[in-house]
Amino acid sequence: MTIFVEGVHKRYGNKPALAGLDLEVPSGTVQAVLGPNGAGKTTAVRVMSTLLRPDAGTVRVAGHDARTDAAAVRSRIGLLGQHAALDEELDGRQNLEMFGRLYHLGARRAGQRADELLDRFGLADTGRKPVKQYSGGMRRRLDLAASLITDPEVLFLDEPTTGLDPRGRAEVWGAVRSLVGGGTTVLLTTQYLEEADQLADRIALVDGGRVAAEGTADELKSLVGADRIVVVLRDPDRLAEAAALLPDPVVTTDPPTLGFPVRDRMEGLALTLRALEGAGIEAADLAVRRPTLDEVFLHLTDGPDGPHGPGGPGGSGGAARAGRADRTEVSA
């Protein structure tokens, strides 16, 4: 495991920020840490990047203990914090060169590296402008470039696209994707489900300072419960007839659609096809729809009786969520 976090606690005064955080990230993968504001995402990144000492627990990054061997960790990580960690008064090149020197590249190499990175992040033309004149997206790219001066083994990105316009977001996403090809292990925090879905191999849902659920996007979606089969009929007049053949469907008329949950998607598809074919009802469209990450997110973090643990869907909370899912589907 390139990142190994176990039982980490951290409190600020009386307020717990992390309450037993566990996380394992294999080498060369992208791990998203997803959660609402105040869930402990930033604290987690600060602990993993040696900026904060945990009160308890184990944090190992790139094979070194973040508490006892912070220097070794620091020389193997890059950090993109929530706020641009740049010197606003200096220009882009001066920033990169300064950080390069502080990474002990030597004066000449630091200068070369600064030029390479400016080039790579499309900042070569603006490298001589003070950072305070940069746009948000440019600043973020320069910040990211600064995190990559030493080609780190592990890259921490704390809400890398918060506050960026769609174009800036696309720029950062592109940069992150190009890194992953190079074998860098990336841990990114985000409030955006789409971002986690787009960039990450695995997603940890964090709430109240601990991981509420962890897995691939698909695994998390299946936590909320069943896949749904959605059938659109060619002939609206046969809607009632079709509804009688299928188990407990939600019916909408425009377009003529039937939707119902299934435990096994293949079985559900086969059942639907057989039933419709037997009655001679023609389908215009047939799809299996998985719950969206939004539904997972709400289900696990926003429950009326607090967050549910992994594998704990169901009960009254689960029923309420299913109702919400139906509404989403009808409008879609």
Partner 1 sequence: MSAAAWVVSDSWTMTRRELAHWARQPVQVVVGLVFPVMMLLMFGFLVGGGRGVDGEYVEFLVPGMLVLTMAFGLESTMTAVTQDLGKGVIDRFRAMPMSSSAVLVGRSAADMLQSAVGLAVLAGVGLLLGWRWHGSAGAALTAFALLLLLRFAMLWIGIYLGMVAGRPELVQAVQILVWPVGFLSNAFASPASMPGWLGAVVEWNPMSATATAVRDLFGNPAAASSSWAFDHAGLLAVGWPLLLLAVFFPLAAGRFRGLSR
Going from the C-alpha of 107 to that of each of 88, 98, 128, 143, the distances in angstroms are 21, 9, 18, 20
Give the residue, chosen from 14, 71, 125, 305, that forms a contact with partner 1 under the rule CB under 8 A: 71
56 binds partner 1 (CB under 8 A): no
Closer of 89 and 264 to partner 1 (Cβ): 89
Interface region with partner 1, contact rule CB under 8 A, candidates 21-29, 85-93, 166-174, 191-199? 85-93
> Could you tell me the smallest distance in angstroms from the CB atom of residue 101 to partner 1?
5
Confirm or reject binding of residue 128 to partner 1 (CB under 8 A).
no
Task: Please tell me whether residue 98 adopts helix, strand or coil conformation.
Answer: helix
Residue 129 vs 290, nearer CB to partner 1: 129
74 part of the interface to partner 1, by CB under 8 A: yes
Q: Which helix (H) or strand (E) holds 294?
A: helix 293-301
Residue 30 or 61 having the CB closest to partner 1:
61
Smallest separation (angstroms) from partner 1 to the CB of 88: 6
Q: Which is nearer to partner 1, 87 or 115 (CB)?
A: 87
CB of 70 to partner 1, least distance (A): 9
Cα 223 from Cα 311, distance rounded (Å): 6
Nearer to partner 1, 187 or 325 (CB): 187
Cis omega (within 30 of 0) for bond into 255: yes
User: Cβ 195 to partner 1, closest distance in Å?
Assistant: 21
Q: Kindly provide the residue ranges of all beta strands, DSSP E only, lying in the chain, ordered along the sequence.
A: 3-12, 15-25, 30-34, 56-61, 64-65, 77-80, 154-158, 185-190, 202-207, 210-215, 227-233, 250-252, 257-262, 283-289
Task: Indicate the helix (H) or strand (E) that contains 317.
Answer: helix 315-331
Nearer to partner 1, 79 or 193 (CB): 79
x/- track of binding to partner 1 for residues 25-54 (CB under 8 A): ------------------------xxxxx-
Residue type, 221: K
Determine, following the binding rule CB under 8 A, whether residue 89 of this chain makes contact with partner 1: yes
Residue count of the chain: 332
Binding test (CB under 8 A) with partner 1, winner from 101, 129, 238, 290: 101
285/328 Cα distance (integer angstroms)? 18
Region near partner 1 per CB under 8 A, out of 75-83, 190-198, 203-211, 319-327: 75-83
Interface with partner 1, residue 87, by CB under 8 A: yes
User: Using CB under 8 A, which of 16, 22, 65, 98 touches partner 1?
Assistant: 98
Residue 69 sits in the site that holds partner 1 (CB under 8 A): no
Q: Which of 18, 23, 34, 77 binds partner 1 (CB under 8 A)?
A: 77
Question: Toward partner 1, which CB reaches closer, 93 or 299?
Answer: 93
Tally helices (H) and strands (E) across the chain.
12, 14
Packing angle, helices 166-181 and 136-147, rounded to 10:
20
Rounded-to-integer distance, Cα 70 and Cα 51, Å? 9
SS3 content of the chain, % helix, strand, coil (to 5): 40, 25, 35
What are the angstrom distances between the C-alpha of 5 and each of 51, 67, 255? 15, 12, 49
Confirm or reject binding of residue 112 to partner 1 (CB under 8 A): no
Binding residues for partner 1, per CB under 8 A?
49-53, 71, 74-75, 77, 79, 81-90, 94, 98-99, 101-104, 130, 146
